[in-house]
Every structure is written in structure tokens, then in C-alpha cells.
Amino acid sequence: MEAMTNWHDISGTDFDNTCEYIFFSRYYQNLELNFTVNDYDRAYCGAWLNGWIYQECLALDMQWQLVS
């Protein structure tokens, strides 16, 4: 991500936000990127977002099971 965006010492939150912008810039024309991305970059960020969603859902499922 740092090499692609030319942004060094990127924080975890900024990494998350940048990856979301990269992924969703394909679908929303009002999101403009000031660096060039390719399909591999978008696929990487899409897979990363899917992993994050999976972890969140798994945590909610475990929490529901414990409360039950």
C-alpha cells in the first residue's frame, strides 16, 4: 500500500480507509484517486475487506452464542 500510494508510515486506520477507497472507486465515480491502481490492487483490497467483514460477523456470532 505504501509503495502504491507513495505514502510512508501509513497508520492502520489510514490503510483501512485507503483500501476501501480503492475498492469502491470502481463503483462510484465521485471517488477520485490521486494514484494509479490496477485490477490486482482492487482485488487485493476487496479480499481484505471480505476478510474484515468475515471477522466481524464471526465475532458477532460468538457473542450471540455466549449471551444465549
Residue with grid cell 507513495, as numbered in its chain: 6
pLDDT tens, position by position, 1-48: 666 777 778 887 888 888 888 888 777 777 777 777 888 888 888 888
* pLDDT of the residue at 2: 67
Question: Tell me, what's the pLDDT at 3?
Answer: 67
Q: Rounded distance, CA 42 to CA 26, Å?
A: 8
pLDDT at 53 over 70: yes
pLDDT at 62 (0 to 100)? 74
First and final C-alpha spacing in the chain: 41
Q: Kindly report the pTM of this predicted structure.
A: 0.56
Q: What is the pLDDT of residue 60?
A: 73
Segment 40-68 shows an average pLDDT of 77
